[in-house]
Amino acid sequence: MVVKMKSGKITVPYDVEIGVIDYNNNGLFNDSGIDKFFIPNIEKDTLDPDDCLSWTSVYYPEIQFMLDKKLFALEKVDPKGNYATVRLLPDAADTLAKIKLVSNIFNLDFDKIEQGADGLKNTFRDNEYSMIKMWFTKCGGCIREIPEVKKLRKKYGIAVVGFNAIDSDFEIQKHISDHDIPWKQYKVEKDLLKSLGNDCSYPYNILIDKEGRVLLKEGKVENIAEYLERRLGR
């Protein structure tokens, strides 16, 4: 179904407004990995992106969100913000019930990692702190934070690994080469990301300790740096 959009706001059935933001202020609403899509806090009757239930980058394949206990997928945002296309998904309860959140990294279903799961476990065990960076090649925010991740890795000596559930092997390798990324990348299934609390939000970073305990989720690089500074004082 096509949903009309006015002033960056769109209304779906049940009279619930959701919003899109021209995040880089270039007149377009669908810059992949840059512009934002968000679901308001309905109980507070607000469309304030700083007080919303969740928000993520627009125009990302298979973005899903709940409204009135129904599951929708965002398929397209018009570049000029005139309309958006969303799709009602079946069996929302069954879909959500399959995802079990984990609080310890060693409880992950490592079978959902294409290769190198044993080496990944050893990386987590052998380093005092490890950062999992979830990303995809067209995510502008993921690209912009690469220099900060490199500084973080060098300053605090933490392990960094990338999880990618979207791109092909060729796209990943080209991205690594183009941006001179030194940390190892793993192709994973989307359900594995969801079990870590990431339901299509990018960039998304997780900090863990060597025992596998999840210390920070959705952590911005600067937040992770502040945490490590307090703990390590470097």
The CATH number given to whatever domain includes residue 169 is: 3.40.30.10
Count of structural domains within the chain? 2
Range of the domain at 112: 99-232
- Alpha carbon separation from 98 to 93, 95, 130 (Å, rounded): 9, 6, 27
Structure tokens at 217: 């989720």
pLDDT at residue number 186: 93
Alpha helix (H) residue ranges in 63-145: 92-97, 117-126, 140-144
Among residues 61, 94, 127, the one where a domain terminates is: 94
Residue 65 has pLDDT above 50, yes or no: yes
Element (H, E) at 149: helix 146-156
Task: State the Cα–Cα distance between residues 86 and 163, nearest whole angstrom.
Answer: 27
At residue 18, the pLDDT reads: 59
Q: Based on the domain organization, do 67 and 35 belong to the same domain?
A: yes
Q: In sequence order, which residues have a C-beta less than 8 Å from that of residue 211 and are 6 or more positions away?
A: 104
SS3 187: strand
Better-scored residue on pLDDT, 78 or 135: 135
Q: Domain end: 60, 94, 128, which one?
A: 94
Give the separation between CA 135 and CA 16, rounded to whole angstroms. 30
Q: What is the pLDDT of residue 66?
A: 63
On whether both 148 and 184 belong to a single domain, the answer is yes
pTM: 0.61
Residues 27 and 45 both lie in one domain: yes
More confident residue, 67 or 107: 107
107, pLDDT greater than 80? yes
In contact, 98 and 192? CB cutoff 8 Å: no
- Cα 38 to chain centroid distance, Å, stands at 13
Q: Where are the alpha helices (DSSP H) in the chain?
A: 92-97, 117-126, 140-144, 146-156, 169-179, 190-195, 221-232
Residue 174 is inside which H or E element, if any? helix 169-179
State whether 144 and 79 are in the same domain: no
pLDDT band, residue 60 (cuts 50/70/90): very low
Q: pLDDT tens digits, residue range 177-207?
A: 999 999 999 998 887 887 887 766 778 899 9
Which of 94, 112, 128 marks a domain boundary?
Answer: 94
Do residue 166 and residue 81 come from a single domain? no
Same domain flag for 196 and 103: yes
Same domain, 152 and 207: yes
**139 and 71, same structural domain?**
no
Question: Any idea what DSSP says for residue 224?
Answer: H
The pLDDT value given to residue 153: 94
The answer to which of 8-17, 211-220, 222-231 has the lowest mean pLDDT is 8-17
Q: Are residues 143 and 222 in the same domain?
A: yes
Distance of CA 181 to the CA centre of its chain: 19
Q: Say yes or no: 66 and 148 in one domain.
A: no
Please check whether residues 118 and 224 belong to one and the same domain: yes
Calculate the average pLDDT of the chain: 74
Question: Do 106 and 185 have their domain in common?
Answer: yes
Distance from C-alpha of 147 to C-alpha of 184, rounded to nearest angstrom: 16
